[in-house]
Structure 1
Amino acid sequence: MASPTHPADPTRTNAAERRRVALATTIGTTIEWYDFFIYASAAGLVFAQLYFRPAGDQIALLLSFGSVGVSFLFRPLGAFLAGHLGDRIGRKAMLVVTLILMGGATTLIGLLPTYDQAGVIAPVALLILRILQGLSAGGEWGGAVLMAVEHAPAERRGRFGAFPQLGPPLGLLAASGAMALMAMIAPGEAFAAWGWRVPFLISVVLIIVGIVVRSRVAESPVFAEIAERREQASLPIARLFRFHAPIVILAALTFAGNNAAGYMTTGGYIQNYATNPDGPLGLDRAPVLLAVTASAVVWGLCTWIAGGLSDRIGRRTTYLIGWGCQLITVFPMFWLVDTGNLWFLALGLALFTIGNGLTYGPQAAFFAELFPASIRFSGVAISYAIGAILGGAFAPTIATALVQQFHTTNAVGVYLAGLTIIAAAATFLLRDRTGIPLGPENEAAQSRGATILS
């Protein structure tokens, strides 16, 4: 086999191209997660009433949050498909496909009739479209982070990897802001009648912007060399689970602790708990959504800081600091929310997002450095998707059931604290490989020593 004329070297990517990649991955993931989070927000605010009301109030709420979680069950399938194709045909193509799938499903949800208008067809169609969102989300993240990290110089992978990680907090910021705006423009019954639909329909415009931006970036230099060498793995997923299953499990557990905590707001739980007129607080929708929006700003800032910090002190150390912050704020966050004071609610959410950001900012680089080049897309995407099932998939449903059973949010705090401790232990078992060469010429070294047990 002929050797390539040049190795996979990110320094060949000029500064202008890196900026384009950073912009494309940030905009694309923001749009993807805006679409994903407005569903979760609507599930906490109106979907129980509009699509599941015949089941009774409490069961309808559980079904509404359950529909958020159902999409997570299909994220591994999206990760399997996107991982296989991303390792076979490239990172860039999958970014465009996942964006179209997510945006199309979101726009159709905005046009969907309610149970009163279409009967049982309405919730069934809602679930199908949510499943399509799950398939897209499962494939999106792996491609976006690899485009960012594999274009970056070794000493700045954490910083560049933080760009696509800004997508979720920016998506939450946009989704909560859009919902808060519509709650003010169309308050009360008008919000349930039509106001919630507007943020979903906006997605058709956002998807066009995302496609234009993403289509203008170059393919990852690592995949370009893999293709040039003709060394694409024929069955990347089979190889991944044969040789790297323990790494997938540990990486998934690290994300589970982050994702479950994040889904207290991104999954719509806090929004419903604080605004439910039959609940203990009964606060107005608009100010609660604004408090969530403000917490998304803190989350984004901490995510950005953590990416750069991980380049200086290492990925694992940054993670462990984040787990400590998350653990010590989980109970105070709920105590502050339970005061019913909007300022305290905003403070509690902001404090809680600090640890969430510190364990999210380094994730792109941390995961990319765990897996060999030829199966890296499959490795990061599947680890992420499994972690999402173990963490955020049913976190709002579990939290709702725990409060219904024990009549205190302390039960939810115990649940989240337990997941945080498990995630910290998994992080400790993974080896910090900050700066390891990512090109296919170093695949032998990449295949060894990713855990402290190997």
Structure 2
Amino acid sequence: MTRLAAASLAGTAIEFYDFFVYGTAAALVLGPLFFPTFSPVAGTLAAFGTFAVGFVSRPLGSVLFGHIGDRYGRRPVLFASLALTGTATVAVGCVPSYATLGVAAPVLLLVLRFLQGLGLGGEWGGAVLLTAEHAPERRRALWASFPQMGPPVGFLLANGIMLALSAWLSDEAFREWGWRVPFWAAGVLALGGLLLRTSLAETPQFQELAESGTRASAPLVEVVRGHWRLVLLTAGALAVGYAVFYAVSTWALAYGTERLGVSRTTMLVCVMAAVAVKGAVTPFAAMLGDRYGRRPLCLAGCAACAVWMFPMVALLHTGRPVMMFLGLLGALLAFITMFSVVAAYLPELYEPRVRCTGAAVGYNLAGVLGGALTPMVATAASGGSGPPWGVAAYLTAIAVLSLGCFALLPETMPRPAAVQEPAEEPAAV
């Protein structure tokens, strides 16, 4: 389990590194480079638009790779998805700017972002099922939380490289070529991840399906016919997690640097520190999920998000690093309270024969609902000189929606078998 968990964590960290490095670049430099004819705010919105395309393609990736995972095994998904995402990320770093290619530059950016999302849509399902289906029942949430620690590791790696380059290079050099270095580094990371995954074994549950001949012939059709309500509920339930995370990791960066005048380095440090704490807390929150259940933690996390959004915006608007850090940290702790157990919860909601497709489609549809639009909506709603209360209201509304969806989902935590009392000896006659 340790080896499997480490391989899953490393793989998701690399794939999410690829995904996050684009979001950071979109917040900091892509607008002026690829949309120079737009105003600063419109350029940022356009850059976030290309960012959103990656979320739109993620459900398509979950359908494509989910079919592979349910028909041919969880293991092939891990290789194909990582290779696709890594290749697309390296290519983003090679795209010339608008000044060189004209309108073809943002179009190429759009296509490569689409391919990034396609690969990431398959990664989560494969990595999570690899650990969840190998894990012992009573520790499933803990072991399955290791892939969930991949995103914060990938985020810290992506932003750490961006931070180092931003501090080392002049602003002109960073905009000219420095921002491309993290994209090129993705190639080396992807090769390392592929080598790490070569020794992984197929999951016992898929082997059982293959040996018994009960694999789904058309997983997506079965999911749509028999589990459509469950897919919609899980997508709605998880939407708040995406909305909160990308409000913190992407919109807050752009808002702090462009509207509050906080330095790029200070904003990156604040966000990275909050994400680091969130990553460290993840396995401990998952252990609570193994003890008290998946659904109670999800409900508590949603409720905390709903309560914290207005204080988060108020603290962020101060422009003071410590206060901004506390505001962002509170939001991420509420987020991880629910997302620490999601990797165990979603697979348990679906039967094994369609689990890779169903869990991944629900998870990635939530990304469209909560992650794709949030940076754009938040940027548009943060006009004016006062605190952007519209952003807080938007995030609170999504939290309430997700709370209602979680309330309609069942608990799935395995219960210990009832202890059988020894039968009484029959009375002697």
Alignment TM class, shorter chain as reference? over 0.9
Aligned partners of 1:412 and 1:185: how far apart in 2? 33
The residue that corresponds to 2:423 in the other structure is: none
The residue that corresponds to 2:40 in the other structure is: 57
Q: Post-superposition shift, 1:58? A: 2.5
3-state SS of paired residue (2:247):
coil
Contact kept, 8 Å, 2:317 with 2:387, in 1: the verdict is no
Q: Does 1:275 align with 2:257?
A: yes
AA aligned to 2:343 is: A
The residue that corresponds to 1:39 in the other structure is: 22
Considering only CA atoms, is the larger Rg found in Structure 1 or Structure 2?
Answer: 2
AA aligned to 1:54 is: T
Contact kept, 8 Å, 1:301 with 1:357, in 2: the verdict is no
Aligned partners of 1:42 and 1:22: how far apart in 2? 30
Q: Post-superposition shift, 1:27? A: 0.1
The residue that corresponds to 2:425 in the other structure is: none
The residue that corresponds to 2:382 in the other structure is: 403
AA aligned to 1:272 is: A
AA aligned to 2:54 is: S
3-state SS of paired residue (2:413):
coil
Q: Does 1:250 align with 2:233?
A: yes
TM, length-normalised to structure 2: 0.95
The residue that corresponds to 1:209 in the other structure is: 192
- Among 390, 397, 403, which residue is 1:424 paired with? 403
Aligned partners of 1:303 and 1:422: how far apart in 2? 24
The residue that corresponds to 2:268 in the other structure is: 289
AA aligned to 2:349 is: L
Q: Does 1:238 align with 2:221?
A: yes
The residue that corresponds to 1:161 in the other structure is: 144
TM, length-normalised to structure 1: 0.90
Contact kept, 8 Å, 1:158 with 1:310, in 2: the verdict is yes
Q: Post-superposition shift, 1:74? A: 1.2
Query: Per-residue displacement from partner, 1:91-149 (whole Å, max 9, x unpaired)?
Result: 01011110011111111111111101111111111111000011011111111111110
Q: Does 1:73 align with 2:56?
A: yes
AA aligned to 1:253 is: G
Following superposition of structure 1 onto structure 2, how do residues 15-414 of structure 1 map, counting pairs within 5 Å? 18-266=1-249, 268-276=250-258, 279=259, 281-404=260-383, 408-414=387-393
Aligned partners of 1:85 and 1:307: how far apart in 2? 28
- CA 1:400–1:30: 2 relative to 1, 3 Å: same
AA aligned to 1:330 is: M
Contact kept, 8 Å, 1:76 with 1:138, in 2: the verdict is yes
Structure 2 unmatched ranges of 5 or more = 417-429
Aligned partners of 2:90 and 2:343: how far apart in 1? 29
AA aligned to 2:120 is: A
Q: Post-superposition shift, 1:436? A: 7.3
Aligned residues between the structures: 416
Q: Post-superposition shift, 1:405? A: 7.5
Query: Per-residue displacement from partner, 1:68-95 (whole Å, max 9, x unpaired)?
Result: 1111111111111011111000101011
Aligned partners of 1:270 and 1:158: how far apart in 2? 30
Contact kept, 8 Å, 2:234 with 2:363, in 1: the verdict is yes
AA aligned to 2:143 is: F
3-state SS of paired residue (1:219):
coil
3-state SS of paired residue (2:133):
helix
Report the more deviating stretch, 333-342 or 367-376: 333-342
Aligned partners of 1:254 and 1:95: how far apart in 2? 26
